[in-house]
Amino acid sequence: MDKLKIENYLKAFPGAVFPEYQPLSAASAAMLRDRLKRRFNIATDADPLTVARELDALGVVWAGFNAQDETFQVSKVLASAHIAVREHAYVNWYRYDDIDKIRFDDLDRSLIDLWYPGADDIDIFDDSLDWVLSISHHGSVKLAVA
């Protein structure tokens, strides 16, 4: 998680506690990336940029949802696709080499404070690796399902 996001959150919500998260080590991110490659049939020798591009290409634009809408929630997108959420989710901040683990409820509730429109392209998934929800810097939502 970018330190600036934490600082901005604490400024916006004095006295609040930033949602607990766990940054994955480089080795853990690589293992998760390898699992995603297998799950989504991406070449095992694909580099992180290729993984990001191929997962993006597999995604389908999820009509009716835009992350910039005030009422946007990841849980609503997943519910519309009949996808059950697990307790934790992963947020990919770059090329599946900068990943944070966070409670799904915290992510859903605080997404607008964690994802910066105009700057962030993020991917969200859980341990099932059955789906990857991508949010572009302009708010469009894509869903890839294994």
Tens-digit pLDDT profile for residues 38-69: 999 999 999 999 999 999 999 999 999 999 99
- Does 14 fall in a domain? no
Q: Tell me the pTM.
A: 0.94
Enclosing domain of residue 93 = 3-9+19-145
| 15 contacts: CB under 8 Å, gap ≥ 6 | none
pLDDT category, 29, cuts 50, 70, 90? very high
- Does 140 fall in a domain? yes
Percent helix, strand and coil across the chain, each to the nearest 5 = 35, 25, 40
- For residue 38, how many C-alpha atoms fall within 13 Å in the half-sphere facing its CB? 7
- Does 129 fall in a domain? yes
The tally of domains found in the chain comes to 1
Q: The tokens 């290409």 sit on which residue?
A: 57
- Does 112 fall in a domain? yes
- Does 72 fall in a domain? yes
CA 114 to chain centre: 10
pLDDT of 119: 86
- Does 55 fall in a domain? yes
